[in-house]
Amino acid sequence: MDAQLKAQRRRAATLARRHVYTEVPPMTSFFDSMSEGEREAFFKKERIRSARVLRRRKIGKNLRISVCLTIAIAIAIFAIVPIFFTFLNSFMSSPEIADNYGVIFQSLSGHAENGARYLDKTPMLKLVPQKVSVAQYKNLLFMSPTYLLKFWNSIILVVPIVAGQMAVACLASFSFARYRRKRREVLFFSYVILMLMPFQVTLVPNYMISDKLGILDTYWAIILPGIFSTFSIFLLTKYMRQIPSAYIEAAKLDGASEWQIFTKIALPTCKSAIFALTILLFIDYWNMVEQPLVLLTKIDKQPLSVFLSQINEAEIGIAFAASALYMIPPLLIFLWGEEYLVEGISRSGVK
Amino acid sequence: MSKQTDLTTTTSSKASTKAAKNQITPVTVDPSSRINLLKQKKRLHRIRKLQEWGLFTGYLTPSLAGVMLFFFLPLLMLLKTSFQKSSTNTDFTGFTNYERVLTNEAFKQASVNTLTFALVAVPLAVLLALLLALLLNSGLPGKSVFRSIILNPMMVPVASVVLIWQVFFSYNGVMNGWGVSQLFGADKIDWFKSEHAQLVILILFLWKNLGYNMVLFLAALNNIPGEILESAMMDGAGAIKRFFAIKMHYLSPTFFFVAIMSLINSFKIFREVYLLTGDHPTDKLYMLQHFMNNQFKKLDYSKLSAGAIIMCVVMIVIVGVLFFAESKFDADVEE
């Protein structure tokens, strides 16, 4: 053992003297011991084996994808069906609706409380209307001004809120992102807490202050607190803090003022976020129920969202059309700005 | 003005030191001038700081004024009224209002309902959305189509789909007609009044919010560097190991964000409940907002404000815990 080691070392030393540091073994091959025929057979076998493995893998992958696809399709159908039904049903004629769904709305909570008994009938949910008619829309648009009024109420509430909140939020979040100090974080944190407060908490203060300011029962009672909601400030600040400070430094060296940094750098970089937030805010306020319910007691001032829940039997004929009409603006906005929305949402969650 | 004077003095002093260097004998700089320079620098610094503070408040003023007027100030007013006998009678009554609220059966029921809903719905929304994101990310064809379809319910106003939910879940509704009575032979039930009412509401919540959460998770999944996953695969880490060891690590900030957003949205479930069942739903569905609304109708402001203050405190505690956990977790991630 010792002698062998010594011999090895000696050999290594000689090699090192000749500047050969690693010994290269003579080339041998796995196939050396095989004859020509054996080699051919071996290759053939290997080829078949690998083809089988590949095939099996492909089948496995296909199987997996098809299972995933079925699940995804099921979920997608679940997601889209209610919307789809609403649209299809909005093209039924009024008598058909009453025929199909009249049963359902007779047993609704409000009626049951008044002592009406449940009527045992099977509903007829129909996907495709028997006769396509635009009678619902015609009734809605030309015969019942209340619906149009509510629709207009919704618009008049939502547009100023979204525009105002975005303007205020852009300024404030720039301030929070650009002039970041430890003590100011406390203020930011209180904003975050305010954002997280559910309506259940903020509605009471809103009510009190609008009562004091004398704007209760006017649109201002909803618009003003809406404008100063801190939700978008939180998200926008998150974006603005992602702006590389090198950009701002470069602009400063070129002699840009703070206002120019705001308008020429901060706003364009956050364009997708601003779009996404605008869309999110629009949906959120288009959807609002809590605020008008408490702050607007006059029924003719309430938006469509509250009103749609108070449909009674006599009006089911146009209810579906009203619902469909109500969801058209957000859906259109979604179709138009989906890319921005997805990008904006995506970037908000990633640090 | 001060900036300019400062500039001139600094350049002149620099020149003088340069000149001093050229001479062989070391020249001691006049100490008083040095102090002046320091003072000037300090003043400049202070001015800059003031300027920055001015800019900070300048940009913030519109928001801050509004927030003060519409949220912070009224909250203080609320605090005051919560200790008063009633809104007109300003006698100090201590904690009686709080007692009245806390012993109120409706309030108890409402807060239990709201909390249990949040406790069930938020984790479920987070986990299901993660699974959905993983599903879509597993090399599915038409990924973006699925994404838009699943995101779609988010865009639809609650009020618009209320009708169709009623068609599905009411006593003579489709669920009873098709599903329960024909497949299982069970009795018909009014879903919104039964034991399963919360389950139905949960489904509606998931229907609306899964898409948004899923998009957040998808983005986080796409943000995981591919090389790391690849090298883990080379090292023989299986799909499950790769998920828990690597992907979870990168997803953790998103988890918190999604949880917070879901929490906010879980408080908005009142919309669905109100639009579907009105002012007085069954006990199981009586949410805090119902309680508040009904108190508004009774005009009992002192009770109302005590209730709001309690909720406010609870929310602050929850948020504090969440953020504390996040910062703790973040520290772990950065290590």
Q: What distances in angstroms separate CA A193 from CA B265, B312, B318, one per listed residue?
A: 15, 9, 10
User: What local confidence, expressed as pLDDT, does residue B205 receive?
Assistant: 93
Mean of the pLDDT values across residues B148-175?
82
Q: What is the DSSP annotation of A310-325?
A: T--GGGHHHHHHHHHH
A129 backbone φψ class: left, alpha, beta (φ>0; ψ -120 to 50):
beta
Range in B95-104, B188-197, B290-299 with the lowest mean pLDDT: B188-197
CB contact under 8 A, B173 and A290: no
User: Alpha-carbon distance B158 to A286, whole Å?
Assistant: 10
For chain B, say whether A215 makes contact (Cβ under 8 Å): no
Q: Which fold has domain A137-349?
A: MetI-like fold (1.10.3720)
Distance from CA of A350 to the nearest CA of B (A): 6
Query: Of A63, A73, A75, A262, which to mutate for an interface test with B (greatest number of B Cβ within 10 Å)?
Result: A75
B181 vs A21, more confident: A21
pLDDT band at B223 (very low <50, low <70, confident <90, very high): confident
CB contact under 8 A, B74 and A208: yes
- State pLDDT tens for residues B240-264: 888 888 888 888 888 888 988 898 8
Average model confidence (pLDDT) across chain B: 81
What is the torsion angle, in degrees rounded to the nearest 10, for the CA atoms of residue B320, residue B326, residue B332 and residue B335? -110
Q: What distances in angstroms separate CA A66 from CA A58, A266, B148, one per listed residue?
A: 12, 45, 20
User: Alpha-carbon distance A48 to A164, whole Å?
Assistant: 70
User: What local confidence, expressed as pLDDT, does residue B6 receive?
Assistant: 46
Neighbours of A9 (CB within 10 A): 10
Q: Which fold has domain B100-334?
A: MetI-like fold (1.10.3720)
Tell me chain B's radius of gyration from C-alpha atoms. 31
Q: Which amino acid is at B84?
A: Q
Neighbours of A252 (CB within 10 A): 15
- Token digits of residue B102: 């806390």
| Beta carbon pairs, A and B, within 8 Å | 307
Q: Determine the angle formed by the axes of helices A94-106 and A316-349, rounding to 10 degrees.
A: 80
Highest mean pLDDT (candidates A159-163, B146-150, B271-275)? A159-163
CA nearest to B293 within chain A: A294
**ipTM > 0.90, yes or no:** no
Query: Of B77, B97, B163, B194, which to mutate for an interface test with A (greatest number of A Cβ within 10 Å)?
Result: B163
User: Alpha-carbon distance B250 to A335, whole Å?
Assistant: 31
Helices and strands: H and E segment counts in chain A: 17, 0
User: Alpha-carbon distance B139 to B151, whole Å?
Assistant: 19
Residues on chain A touching B188 (C-beta within 8 angstroms): 118, 120
Delimit the domains of chain B by residue range.
2-82, 100-334
> At B84, phi and psi to the nearest 5?
-95, 160
Neighbours of B102 (CB within 10 A): 14
The pTM (predicted TM-score) of the whole model is 0.80
User: Alpha-carbon distance A279 to A2, whole Å?
Assistant: 82
- Token digits of residue B72: 């912070």
User: What local confidence, expressed as pLDDT, does residue B4 receive?
Assistant: 45
* Cβ atoms of B157 and A286 closer than 8 Å: yes
* Cβ atoms of A55 and B130 closer than 8 Å: no
Buried b (16+ CB within 10 A) or exposed e, A312-338: eeebbbbbbbbbbbbbebbbebbeebb
pLDDT band at B5 (very low <50, low <70, confident <90, very high): very low
* Cβ atoms of B210 and B150 closer than 8 Å: yes
pLDDT tops 50 at residue B334: no
Range in A115-124, B52-61, B163-172 with the lowest mean pLDDT: A115-124
> At A180, phi and psi to the nearest 5?
-95, 120
Beta bridge partners of B84: B92
Neighbours of B112 (CB within 10 A): 14
* Cβ atoms of A178 and A257 closer than 8 Å: no
Write the burial class of residue B182 (CB in 10 Å: 0-12 exposed, 13-18 middle, 19+ buried): exposed
Q: What is the DSSP letter of B193?
A: G
Q: With a cut of 50, list the residues of chain A below it in pLDDT.
A: 108-118
Residues on chain A touching B146 (C-beta within 8 angstroms): 72, 75-76
- State pLDDT tens for residues B69-114: 888 888 888 888 888 877 667 777 778 888 888 888 888 988 899 8
Mean of the pLDDT values across residues B158-170?
81
Q: Helical H runs in B137-267?
A: 143-155, 158-169, 174, 197-222, 226-234, 239-242, 248-266
Query: Of B80, B84, B140, B155, which to mutate for an interface test with A (greatest number of A Cβ within 10 Å)?
Result: B155
**Percent over 90 (pLDDT), chain B:** 16
CB contact under 8 A, B275 and A308: yes
B25 backbone φψ class: left, alpha, beta (φ>0; ψ -120 to 50):
beta
User: What local confidence, expressed as pLDDT, does residue B29 receive?
Assistant: 66
The residue to which tokens 């189509």 are assigned: B145
Neighbours of B79 (CB within 10 A): 15
